[in-house]
Amino acid sequence: MPDETSSHRSADRIARIVLDEATILRRSDTVESERQAALRDLEAANSFTPLRALETGQEGPWSLHLSVVDGRLAIAIRDGAGEDAGTVGLGLARFRRVVREYFAICDSYYKALRKASPQEIETVDMARRGIHDRGTRHLLEALEGKIETDFDTARRLFTLICVLHIKA
């Protein structure tokens, strides 16, 4: 029989996540692969607690709908019963530079995979992971006081934010 702590933990997670397809104008095969991997990894393991919803007595597991509205990331949250649990809005301006750097280094990484030495690929990959980690830290700072999550979950959410930044 599970104790209260383990059942509480199972509620503090994302059960479902959807990206607003109208927000995303185009995706390359590489970006689509990154999106699918982030969604698959989030489904497998994550930690997510929307603090305001918790304060009002709502419980997860949570369903998220990510979109961009008026230059802001909108994280619409539904509780385990399917009820509206609020929307967390984050200004995207704070992410623009790191997202741009991340896309640039990803482009370099995928080009390196085709023609570079293993050592060059490793160097570019380390830079790619470093920029991704910096974006993850920006996201954790932006979520502070709104949503509690772990680094791995924030990292995958940052990948999805990058996908939402893509414009034709």
What's the pLDDT tens digit per position in 24-58? 655 567 777 778 888 889 888 999 999 999 999 99
Q: C-alpha dihedral over 65, 67, 69, 73, to 10 degrees? A: 90
| Cα distances (Å, whole numbers) of residue 118 to 111, 126, 131 | 13, 12, 20
Separation between Cα atoms, residue 138 and residue 133, nearest integer Å: 9
Q: Do residues 84 and 34 make contact, with C-beta atoms less than 8 angstroms apart?
A: no
pLDDT at 27: 58
pLDDT at 56: 92
pLDDT at residue 151 tops 90? yes
Separation between Cα atoms, residue 156 and residue 159, nearest integer Å: 5
pLDDT at residue 62 tops 80? yes
Beta strands 48-50; 14-19: pairing state: unpaired
Residue type, 125: D
The count of other CB atoms within 10 Å of the CB of residue 37 is 12
* DSSP H helices in the chain: 4-11, 29-44, 51-55, 93-115, 118-143, 151-165
* Stated pTM of the model: 0.83
